[in-house]
Amino acid sequence: MVGVLRMFPVSLLYVWCRFLRSALSVAACVLLAGCAGTADTRPDAAVPALYQQLDAAGQGYETALRQARAGDSAASRKTLTAALDRLQQASVRCGATAGCDPQRFFSVFDHLLRLKDGSFLGDEALADDAQNDEAPADGQGGIGALSQAQRSVTLLRGQKLSELIAMNGAVKAALEMWLTQWRPNLIDAYVNYQYLRYQMWPPYEKAELPEALLFGILAKESGGKVNAVSRSGAAGPLQFMYATGLRFGLVADNGFDLRFDPAQSARANAEYVNQQLGIFNNNLELVLAAYNAGEGRLRRLAGDTPDTSFYDPAIYNQLSQETREYVPSVLAAAWLFLHPDSYNLHFPKVDGAPGEVILKRPASLSELAICLGSAGGMDQGWFRTLRNLNPRLDPQAPQPAGARVGVPRQLEQAYAARCVEGPWPILADDLHQAVAPAVQAPPAPSRVSTSTGRTRDYKVRHGDTLIGIAHRLPCADVRTLAELNGLQHHRIRVGERLKVPVCR
C-alpha cells in the first residue's frame, strides 16, 4: 500500500463534505471524490465492478457509523475492518486497470481510517443528527460510544488526533521512511515502549493526551532507549534538555537525573505539550516544532498568529532541516501506531506486564542479560529492556544478593531457572570478570647527549618542521628551539636560519 498511499491528495474534498454535511451523505462525498479524477475514454470492462466494491466500502462506512451511534463499538470496528480490507484489495486492482480512477479509492480509504479512530468527519455529521430520533437518549453517540481507552488514544484537547494529522507530502514521505529505512527502528521503539508502557502511559493518559502521540515522540527521540543522550546534551527516553527538564521538575534525585526516569519524563512531556498547546492555539505541528527547536524560537516565528500553519514559508523556511523532518516524522509514527495493519505493518505481540526478581546471588544487569539469553523468544536479548526498567543502576556494577531488579513479569520464572544455579550464571560471572590488557605507552626516548651551552645556525629546508628538527637533536626539544629563536606558534619559513644547541 505504500505506493498507493503516495498518491493521496491533500483532500480539500473533506472541507466540501463538511460544508455540505446537512445536504450530502457520505456516499455523495464519494461521488465528489470521483469527479476529481480524469475519466479514461476507453475504460476496461472491469472498472464498473471495481467501483461497485468502492460503493460497498462506502456503505460499510455508513453502517459502521450507525453501529457506533447505537453504542455497539465492537460491531462498528469489525465492519470498518472488513470495509478497509475490501477497499485495499480493490484499490490494488484499480491501479492495474485502464480507466479506473484511483483517487476515488484514496479518498474513501482516508475517511475509513479516520472513522476507525472515532473521527466521524469531525463529528459534524453527528452534530446534525443530535436531535434526530435515532440518536441515543443519553447523547452518547459517535466517539462517545467508544471505550474510554480508545477515546484517550484519539482525543487531543477536545480534538481528534487523526483530524490533526494532515496527510500531506511531508507526512507521506515520513511514512515511507518508517516503513522502509527506519522500519527496524520503529519495531525496536515499539518493543521498548511496550515494556515501558506501564510507567509512561498513565501520566500521559491523566493529562488527556493521545498514546499515539507519546509513541511518536518516543520513536523519533530515542527509540525507547531510556539512557539515550544526544550530542547536544538532551537526555532520557523523551530527550529533555537540562534547562527544560528543570522547568518541569526533572531534577537530580540522590544523584540520579530524573530525565532518565520513564514515568517522570512522560509526566514532564505531557505538561510541556499541554502548556504549548495553550500557547500555540492547539496547533500540534507548532508544538512539536517547539519541542525540537525551542518554544522561544517558534514564538518569535509565529508572532501574533499562533494558528499559522507549520508549513507557512514564514515559519517552515526559517527552521532547520532537522525540525522540518522531525514534525512529520513524529506524526507519521503516531499514525502508524494507530493503523499498522492498513500499511502492511505488523508490530510484534509483547507482554509488557511488569515484574521483579530478588537476586539470589550478586549479579549485574549485564550478567543477568547473559544468563537469561533469549528466554521468552527475545532473539535480541534482554539487555536493553533490563537497562530501561532499571535506569538508576549501572549495568556493569554487580548488585548484591537481596537486591530488587525490575524485569518483565514473564522473566521471573526464567530468572529462577537460569540465573540462580547451573552453568549460565557461572559463565556470565566469568565473562564479566574478564579484563582486556591495558595499553602501555612506549617509553620516551632517552636523551643520551646534553647541550654544551653553545649554538650553531641551521637553515630551514623544504619539509622541515620545528618538531622534526627537535627530533634530530638529542639535546633539544621544541620548547627550547622556540625560546632560542623567539618563535610564536612554532612557525618557521624555508630559508630561515635558526639557532640550535650544540650537543656534546
What mean pLDDT do residues 311-320 have? 92
Non-local CB neighbours of 493 within 8 Å, separated by 6+ positions: 460
pLDDT of residue 143: 30
Of 406 and 208, more confident: 406
- Of 94, 118, 112, the C-alpha closest to 58 is 112
Residue 134 has pLDDT above 50, yes or no: no
pLDDT of residue 3: 35
pLDDT of residue 7: 35
What tens digit of pLDDT does each residue of 374-421 get? 999 999 999 999 999 999 999 999 999 999 999 999 999 999 999 999
Q: How confident is the model at residue 472 (pLDDT cuts 50, 70, 90)?
A: confident
pLDDT of residue 262: 98
What mean pLDDT do residues 447-467 have? 78
- Of 296, 301, 303, 299, the C-alpha closest to 319 is 301
Residue 55 has pLDDT above 90, yes or no: no
DSSP 157-186: TTEEHHHHS---HHHHHHHHHHHTTTHHHH
User: 11-25, 161-175, 188-202, 285-299: which has the minimum mean pLDDT?
Assistant: 11-25
Grid coordinates given for 272: 510541556
Query: How far apart (Å, rounded) are the C-alpha atoms in residues 297 and 315?
Result: 10
Residue 325 has pLDDT above 70, yes or no: yes
Where b means 16+ CB within 10 Å and e means fewer, 278-311 reads ebbebbbbbbbbbbbbebebbeebbeeebebebb
Domain architecture of the chain: domains with CATH: 2-142 (no CATH), 174-343 (1.10.530.10), 354-433 (no CATH), 451-503 (3.10.350.10)
pLDDT of residue 287: 94
Instruction: Let me know: does 479 contact 450? Beta carbons within 8 Å.
Output: no
Query: How far apart (Å, rounded) are the C-alpha atoms in residues 425 and 214?
Result: 37
Grid coordinates given for 275: 502548556
User: 31-35, 45-49, 95-99: which has the minimum mean pLDDT?
Assistant: 31-35
* Cα 226 to the center of its chain, rounded Å: 13
Work out the mean pLDDT of the chain and round it to a whole number.
79
Instruction: Let me know: does 163 contact 122? Beta carbons within 8 Å.
Output: yes
Grid coordinates given for 70: 447505537
Q: How confident is the model at residue 72 (pLDDT cuts 50, 70, 90)?
A: confident
Instruction: Let me know: does 53 contact 90? Beta carbons within 8 Å.
Output: yes
| Residue 223 main-chain phi, psi, to 5 deg | 70, 15
What is the dihedral sign for C-alpha 54, 58, 61, 66? negative
Q: How confident is the model at residue 285 (pLDDT cuts 50, 70, 90)?
A: very high
Residue 306 has pLDDT above 70, yes or no: no
pLDDT of residue 179: 96
Residue 123 has pLDDT above 50, yes or no: no
Q: How confident is the model at residue 87 (pLDDT cuts 50, 70, 90)?
A: confident
pLDDT of residue 105: 66
pLDDT of residue 84: 74
Of 105 and 280, more confident: 280
DSSP H or E run through 425: helix 423-433
pLDDT of residue 118: 53
Residue 445 has pLDDT above 50, yes or no: yes
* Cα 334 to the center of its chain, rounded Å: 8
Residue 484 has pLDDT above 80, yes or no: yes
Of 233 and 266, more confident: 266
What tens digit of pLDDT does each residue of 142-186 get? 333 333 334 344 456 666 676 678 778 899 899 999 999 999 999
Non-local CB neighbours of 92 within 8 Å, separated by 6+ positions: 4
pLDDT of residue 389: 98
Q: How confident is the model at residue 266 (pLDDT cuts 50, 70, 90)?
A: very high
Grid coordinates given for 445: 626516548
| DSSP label of 400 | P
| Residue 303 main-chain phi, psi, to 5 deg | 60, -130
Q: How confident is the model at residue 22 (pLDDT cuts 50, 70, 90)?
A: very low
Query: How far apart (Å, rounded) are the C-alpha atoms in residues 103 and 109?
Result: 10
DSSP-H helix ranges across 157-312: 161-164, 169-179, 183-206, 211-221, 242-247, 262-279, 284-293, 295-302
- Pairing outcome for strands 256-257 and 252-253: antiparallel
Q: How confident is the model at residue 493 (pLDDT cuts 50, 70, 90)?
A: confident
Query: How far apart (Å, rounded) are the C-alpha atoms in residues 472 and 117?
Result: 78
Burial classification of residue 400, based on how many CB atoms lie within 10 Å of its CB (0-12 exposed, 13-18 middle, 19 or more buried): exposed
Instruction: Let me know: does 104 contact 37? Beta carbons within 8 Å.
Output: yes
Query: How far apart (Å, rounded) are the C-alpha atoms in residues 196 and 396?
Result: 21
